[in-house]
Every structure is written in C-alpha cells, then in structure tokens.
Amino acid sequence: MGWESGIQLKVLVTDKVDEKLLNRLRSMGMVIDYKPGIQRDELLKLIDGYHILVVRSRTKVDREVIDRGTSLKIIARAGVGLDNIDVEYALKRGLVIINSPNAATYSAAELTLTLMLMLARNVHLHIFDVKNGKWSKGAYEGVELRGKTLGIVGFGRIGRAVARYAEALGMRVLATDIIDVSRYANELGVKLVSLSELLELSDVITLHVALTKDTYHMINDDRLRLIKDGAMIVNTSRGEVIDTRALLNHLDRLWGVGLDVLEHEPPREDWEFKLIQHPKVIVTPHIGAETVEAQGRIVEELVANIQDALERVRNHG
C-alpha cells in the first residue's frame, strides 16, 4: 500500500457534513468531491481512485464498496456508530477506520432528556392540539420524573451523561452493561443490575448501546413483557435495537415511547408508519447529533483523527 507523503489525496464525501469539515480538509491540500445523498450505484462506479471516504450513518460501506475502492486507505465516519461499515472486512483489507466518538455525547444525552420530559408531560399531544386550535389544558395529565427509576441500557459515554442529568432531576438510576463499568457507577451513584432486573424495575428505560449482532432486536417481545405497565421507553441509539413490530403490541400498556431512530430511516414499512402515528409515540428524525456544538466538535475530532491516521498509513503503508 505504499503511500508517499507528496501525493495529493482525493477525498469522497457521500453524506451531508458541515462545510467547515470540507474547508479544513481542503486546507490540508486534499481534493474533495462532495456528493451528499449519492446513490449506491453511483458510489460503486465512482469510488475507485479515492484515498479517503467520509460518511455519516446513511452510506452503507460494505465489502463491495471497499473492494471497488482500490486506492482507499481511510474510511472516516463523521459521528459515533460504525454499524453502517463492514469494519471487520475493512480492517482485513488494511484500511484505517476512524470516527468522532466524543463529539455528540452531550447533544444525544440532552435529546434523550428532552424525549423523556416531553413524554412525561404529554407535550407532543398538547402542542398538536394547541396548533390545531384546541386549548387542551386538563386533557392529558402528566407525571413527574422526580422520584422515578431510570434504567440505562449501555453505560457508555451517552448513558453516563444521561445518568448525570437524571440525578439532577431526582431520579433513582439503574444501569446495565456487558463490560465492567463499576468505577463509573460508583462515581455517579448508579446501581448496576442485570438487563432483566432493569426492565422489571424501571419506570423509564433508555437505550444507549451500539448496534451489533448482539444488540440487534435486544428489546424483543420477551424482554418487552418484562417491562412494567405505565413505563416509558426512549431510544436514541439505533432503531434496530428494538423489535418495532413487537413494540407495537405493547404500546397500549406503556406510558409512551420516544424514538430518535427507526429500523428504516426514513421509515418505509406499514408498521413503522403505525408506530409514528400512534399518540403515545414521539419520533424525531435522527437528530441526536444535530446541534451547532456537536457538528463543530465532529469537525475538530475527525480532522485530528484523519491527521493521526495519515501518519500511521505513511509510517506503516
């Protein structure tokens, strides 16, 4: 994979990113082709000849894309989740994969809190009524989050940020993870429990795992049955973590569901539209990282990680 430091690097960007990222890469002497929303067929035709591919969550970077990119050295994901990239295959092909894992932590955690608070007070229903000329005071009584139990599934960066906010609201916080997170749990006064216990005990359940083979549909019908009547579920992680069709059968007995992510984005199946239209459900269009601050941090983190990756490729290429 020899790579002299003199060559002009060609970068293909296939999802919408902050203009600043493009300018920063240009200022590093790279040639940028910005094609947000490019369709797969065109991507397959175009990819050969590019050294760096920059994507967000929309572009699927599978074996075929990687194989066609014969000059590809770096895949850069502007964001956290790498579930749209065949990481194992890319690493086997000697590519460097980078992302910006810290940039959106607080934006995603704040959105999680927003969905919890909106659900608790039925804000979505009130907004809808008032906009349609109906003064809905008294129509949908809310609940307080204070004193309620929050269950955090996946006690990583975002899960821990949510725990800090929940403490300020006076919630009791439980968490579950597959790695040892006891140091953080002790620091934050959070009780670690099994997933089953968490589902049985929580008034509000919030999901913060990465999408993997093991987390795909981890909240399935059997697990949904463990959740108590009147509980809320919030998911700002990945849509595929919940079996949406199974969730539909539990909506009547739940308080409400807040989702920033769906199994298909944008939604396309009948069961997804049913979910979106349900009065107990709030859906936002994957806006967890859509803040001025997160997008700014993504640029900084990604540029620094691309510089590091270039060093590595040049030294070991």
Residues that bind ligand NAD (CB under 6 A): 80-81, 101, 104-105, 108, 153-159, 176-179, 208-211, 214-215, 218, 236-238, 260-261, 286, 288-289
Rg (alpha carbons) of the chain, rounded to whole number: 21
| For helices 105-120 and 123-131, angle between their N-to-C axes, nearest 10 degrees | 70
Residues 149, 141: Cα–Cα separation, whole Å: 20
- Kindly state the smallest distance separating residue 44's Cβ from ligand NAD, in Å: 25
**End-to-end CA separation in angstroms for the chain:** 5
Place of tokens 């459900």: 281
User: Is 91 in contact with 97 (CB distance < 8 Å)?
Assistant: yes
- Kindly state the smallest distance separating residue 287's Cβ from ligand NAD, in Å: 7
- Kindly state the smallest distance separating residue 59's Cβ from ligand NAD, in Å: 15
Comparing C-alpha atoms, which of 317, 116, 71, 100 is closest to residue 231? 116
- Kindly state the smallest distance separating residue 175's Cβ from ligand NAD, in Å: 9
Nearer to ligand NAD by C-beta: 202 or 236? Answer: 236
- Give the type of residue at 243: D
Nearer to ligand NAD by C-beta: 55 or 211? Answer: 211
Nearer to ligand NAD by C-beta: 298 or 306? Answer: 298
- Count of CB atoms within 10 A of residue 4's CB? 7
- Kindly state the smallest distance separating residue 176's Cβ from ligand NAD, in Å: 5
The DSSP-derived string for 262-301 is -SSSS--SHHHHHHHHSTTEEE--S-TT-SHHHHHHHHHH
* CB closest to ligand NAD, residue no: 156
265 is catalytic: yes
286 is catalytic: yes
How far from 312 is each of 75, 124, 162, CA to CA, in Å? 14, 49, 35
Nearer to ligand NAD by C-beta: 50 or 155? Answer: 155
Show the tokens assigned to 104.
Answer: 């959106």
User: Is 152 in contact with 197 (CB distance < 8 Å)?
Assistant: no
Comparing C-alpha atoms, which of 298, 271, 248, 261 is closest to residue 115? 261
Comparing C-alpha atoms, which of 113, 10, 82 is closest to residue 52? 10
- Kindly state the smallest distance separating residue 242's Cβ from ligand NAD, in Å: 13
The one catalytic residue among 124, 223, 238, 297: 238
Nearer to ligand NAD by C-beta: 155 or 255? Answer: 155
The one catalytic residue among 64, 167, 265, 300: 265
Nearer to ligand NAD by C-beta: 47 or 175? Answer: 175
User: Is 187 in contact with 170 (CB distance < 8 Å)?
Assistant: no
Beta bridge partners of 249: none
141 is catalytic: no
Residues identified as active-site = 238, 265, 286
